[in-house]
Amino acid sequence: MGQPIVDHVVDKLFGKRQPEVMVGIDSIFDLVYDMLASTITLRRGDSCMIMGPRSAGKTLMVSKVLEKLNSNYSDDFLTIKLNGTIHADDKQAVRAIARQIDEATNNQEADKLEKPSMAVTMQNFLTLFEQANFSETNYKSVVFIIEDIDQFTSAGKQTLLYNLLDLSQSSVIGVAVVGLSCRMNAAELLEKRVRSRFSQRLYNLPKPKSRQDFVSRCASLLQVDPSVQIDGAQEWNTKITRLMDQDGLGDVVSEVYYTSKDLRYFGTRVGPYLQGKNHKDLCAEWFIDSVISKLNVPSSTDTLLPSLSELEWALLLCSARASTRYSIDSVNLVLAQTEYYAMAQALSIERSSVTGVGYRVWSAKAIRLAWERLQQLELLVPTGTAQSGQEDLKMLRPETGLQELRGFLPPNHPLFSWTRL
């Protein structure tokens, strides 16, 4: 008894089931849906870019938009999905496009778009759209969803993005391009000729700006969706609302909000303590166990940070500073090194005026070695695939925020002032 409710909620917490209620992002959802609906029904090409930090809900929102479009226009459009992290270059991406079109249209071997030759595959793909006629009804509109679109901007001439955006303007069958990126300056990375074909629709999807907003999003994960008919669902939802501000669950919500604001992390914290339980026994003690277990297990960060050299500390702090300053989730060596030189030179001038001895500014080679060690210790985690010869541009996410790092440094540490912007 009671398992259906708990199983339903646990599936949502672990990402196996998408929540029906989109808390806090309804307005952007409507804008993206209306744009794609116009592409499908009116064959009006368009494009947009959705930006925001990881775990802000970009992919989830687009998935819900596609779900609604499929329920209304399932036979009228085709969805092609690309990922800049998986499809590392234009060649892989073009083959992925051709393969998805072949699978969706059940093309026979002779008619397949994908061929051994890359040039032929590309030509087949472009010809398919160029030959389409507005009066023909057997052509479907096409929606391109490109996750981590910024990864494609590092390619030489951004040929793929240029061709896709050009199709969104010129093809008569209706082509829409939706790009997702964690970089707030993703649109600025587009070349001039590519940007000229972009519609300039930019949507920012930030993480929750207040604790109450985050509480609402967490509650939507823990509550039974409105369309699901299960005995006891209303009682469960009422209890969850009450527990959100009590000891236990409220503590977990606060911890996640003030550290990462990551709903996926919230799910992994709470989910294991719901599995196998009866919904009638729901109480604060379930979640208090989660808080206690977290307190009893030292994190790897607690162990690793004391072992860092001063240069490694400096780079980690500069990565977190750049991440906070520019409201981005990930940084590269170039960005961190620029921040380091600015901070180190300022500290050197300050010390020199007082003691006559400046602060040592390390060489680029030493900085690179320290940067590599931070990666080995997983204090900087890759967010994408770096291409050959571009290690300096490889995007990495600091695992610890600036405020958290502040708690690991004593006030008399030479770099303590770096923990504040």
CA distance 271 to 265: 10
Q: Taking the domains of the chain in order of start, what are their residue ranges?
A: 3-11+209-297, 25-204, 303-419
Question: Considering Cα of 151, then 154, then 159, then 161, what sign does the dihedral take?
Answer: positive
Residue type, 294: K
Residue 109's pLDDT is what? 59
> Do 397 and 54 touch, CB atoms closer than 8 A?
yes
Beta bridge partners of 176: 46, 143
Q: What are phi and psi of 71, to 5 degrees?
A: -70, -25
> Do 220 and 214 touch, CB atoms closer than 8 A?
no
> Do 276 and 375 touch, CB atoms closer than 8 A?
no
The burial class, CB within 10 Å (0-12 / 13-18 / 19+), for 134 is exposed
Residue type, 120: V
Six token digits for residue 34:
């209306």
CA distance 329 to 396: 8
SS3 state at 74: coil
CA distance 305 to 298: 12
For tokens 């541009």, the residue is 393
> Do 280 and 232 touch, CB atoms closer than 8 A?
yes
Q: What angle do the packed helices 249-259 and 211-222 form, to 10 degrees? A: 120
Count of CA atoms in the C-beta half-sphere (13 A) of 203? 23
Residue 313's pLDDT is what? 94
Six token digits for residue 138:
């057997």
25-204 has CATH 3.10.50.30 classification: no
CA distance 206 to 224: 25
CA distance 401 to 390: 25
pLDDT tens for residues 165-217?
998 988 888 899 999 998 888 888 889 999 999 988 999 988 888 889 999 99
The DSSP string of 268-303 is HHHGGGTTT--GGG--HHHHHHHHHHHHHS--HHHH
Q: What are phi and psi of 188, to 5 degrees?
A: -75, -15
> Do 139 and 132 touch, CB atoms closer than 8 A?
yes
> Do 390 and 156 touch, CB atoms closer than 8 A?
no
Residue 297's pLDDT is what? 41
> Do 24 and 216 touch, CB atoms closer than 8 A?
yes
> Which stretches of the chain drop beneath a pLDDT of 50?
1-2, 134-135, 292, 294-298, 385-389
CA distances from 217 to 15, 24, 53, 291 (A): 14, 8, 16, 19
CA distance 164 to 144: 8
Residue 32's pLDDT is what? 96
Six token digits for residue 381:
């985690």
> Do 393 and 154 touch, CB atoms closer than 8 A?
yes
Six token digits for residue 172:
């008569």
303-419 has CATH 3.40.50.2020 classification: no
